[in-house]
Structure 1
Amino acid sequence: MYWVEDFYSRTGQWWGRAEARLTDRDHHRVSLLHDHCGGAPKRVLELGAGYGATAVATAQAGHMVTAIEISDRIDFVDGLARDVSPGALGVIKDDFYTVRLDRPFDVVCYWNGFGVGSDADQRRLLERIATEWLRPGGAALIDVSNPFVWARWNGGEEHLMPAPERGYDHELHERTTFDPVSCVAVDTWWEASSPHQSISQFLRCYTPADLMLLLAGTGLQLTAITVGDRTFTPTPQPGLAELLHEHHEYLAVLRHNG
């Protein structure tokens, strides 16, 4: 996972002026938290918080939030948190594989980031959630990359022109590939002026069945899946278009299997 801090810090420099803000996506995530965990105030841990926008929206909704992010993206959070009540949001710039926290949480969230590293890395993180961070009866809400859609994007390329009026200052290229053996999507970016200085992120994708195998022995169980606006139990769903064609990730709801 040597690439993680550099990739997200550099892309944050490219896009932060445009994207470090609260959007409908952040408020939708808070709605998902309420749908699956109830709306009463809770202690929430957010892993891989990025710019911190969802953490801010969660704190604004009345929850006590601890946000962890390793990259420089989190440096934008102060500009977003002006309306957050004092003490409602704590930010830790650290690696969530090694950080130590001194209290349990009602909810652990990992929005749009799970799959960084090997299966062993994911399992180690899931075990930390179950044994160190999540209180009994709590839930983990984790976005999981969907291999069906990422595989369809294999070989895709984009050329993005600057749009300074919207906060995008760089001319960029993107190439997406997908390895069907390892089930890893590789998302590569480079500036048009520096084609030989590309950076990539590597995302291990999991079908719901693969995720249930990964969860074995971690202390967590998959109890529900949300794809788009639809939530269902992890039972056979033949021809489910949302997973097969429409959404590049799904939300896994995990609870202690004991």
Structure 2
Amino acid sequence: MDWAKNFYSETGRWWAKAEARIGDRDHHRVAQLHEYAGKQPHRVLELGPGYGTTAAVTANAGHTVTAVELSDRATVASAFAAEVTGGTMTVINDDFYAVQLEGPFDVVSYWNGFGIGSDADQRRLLTRIAAEWLRPGGVALIDVSNPFVWASWHGDEEHLMPNPEQGYEHELYETTTFDPITSTATDTWWRADLPEEKHSQHLRCYTPADLALLVAGTGLTLTTVVGDPAGLLKDQHEYLAVLHHEV
């Protein structure tokens, strides 16, 4: 997992002007939180919040949010935290495999990021969620990379031109590969003017059945998979897993 801080920090610098904006996706995520955990005020732990846009919308909905971000994107998230007008939002720039937090939380969310590292790493994180952070009966909301769609992207290449008006300042290349043995997607990016500096993220993908096996024994139970079956086979590159802390 040594690549993670560098990858998300570097790409964060490329895309912050364009993507560090609150949008429909953030509001949709908070609607999902309310659907599966209720609208009453919660203590929410958000892992890997990136620029902090969803965490800010969650806080503005009246929740108390602790957001733990490994990369330099935490700086942008802290700026969003300073503008929260509803509940509260605290940003911690740390590794959530090592960070010490004061629990318990009613909700733990991990939007768009689960799958960094080995199966053992994922189980270690899930066990921390259950044993240290999530209250009994609490809800964990985790986006999981879908192997069916990532596999269909194997060998794809993209060439993206700058669009300064939208905040995209660099000409970029991307290649995607998928290892069917380990069910791991590798997404590699580089700037056209720095072709020797390539940055890759590696995402372990899980079918819902594989996720249920991974979760077994961690103290969490997979209760709902949010996603259309046809979409999971064709174009939904991730799905929301709803897990509950066993009482």
TM over 0.5, yes or no?
A: yes
Structure 1 residue 79, shift from structure 2 partner:
3.5
Measure, in 2, the Cα distance between the counterparts of 1:47 and 1:148: 25
Whether 1:180 and 2:180 are equivalent positions in the alignment is yes
Match of 1:55 in 2: 55
> Letter of the aligned partner of 1:241 in structure 2?
A
Q: CA deviation at 1:80?
A: 2.7
Give the whole-Å Cα distance in 2 for the aligned partners of 1:61 and 1:34: 10
Contact 2:63 2:87 in 1 (8 A): no
How far apart are 1:247 and its partner, in Å? 0.4
1:242 to partner: Cα distance: 1.5
Trace 1:112-123 onto structure 2 (pairs within 5 A): 112-123=112-123
Instruction: Give, in whole Å, the separation in 2 of the partners of 1:82 and 1:2.
Output: 30
Question: Aligned in 2, Cα 1:95/1:82: closer, same or farther, shift over 3 Å?
Answer: closer
TM alignment of 1:1-258, pairs within 5 A = 1-85=1-85, 88-227=88-227, 240-258=229-247
The answer to whether the 8 Å contact 1:8/1:71 transfers is yes
How far does residue 102 in structure 1 lie from its aligned partner after superposition?
1.6
Instruction: Kindly tell me the number of residue pairs found equivalent between the two proteins.
Output: 247
Q: Alignment partner of 2:174: what SS?
A: strand
Structure 1 contact 162–170 (Cα < 8 Å) conserved: yes
Q: CA deviation at 1:5?
A: 0.3
Amino acid at match of 1:172: L
**Structure 1 gap segments, 5+ residues each:** 231-239
Q: Give the Cα separation in 1 of the matches to 2:212 and 2:87.
A: 36
- Matched with 1:236 is none
The offset of 1:74, in angstroms, is 1.5
1:170 deviates by 0.4
**Distance in 1 of aligned mates of 2:135 and 2:74:** 26
Distance 1:254 1:81 in 2: 27
CA contact (8 A) 1:21 1:80 kept: no
CA distance, structure 2, for counterparts of residue 226 and residue 9 of structure 1: 30
Q: CA RMSD in A?
A: 1.2
| Structure 1 CA distance for aligned equivalents of residues 158 and 63 of structure 2 | 39
Q: Which amino acid aligns with 2:151?
A: A
* Whole-angstrom distance in 1 between the partners of 2:65 and 2:246: 25
Residue identity matched to 1:71 = S
Letter in 2 for 1:139: V
Contact 1:22 1:80 in 2 (8 A): no
2:27 touches 2:54 (CA, 8 Å); kept in 1?
yes
TM-score with structure 1 length normalisation?
Answer: 0.93
Residue segments in structure 2 that go unaligned for 5+ positions in a row: none
- Give deviations 1:8-53, integer Å, cap 9, x for gaps: 0000010001111101100000000001111111000000010001
Whole-angstrom CA distance in 2 between matches of 1:138 and 1:42? 10
8 Å CA contact 1:225–1:250 kept in 2: the answer is yes
Q: What displacement does 1:126 show?
A: 0.1
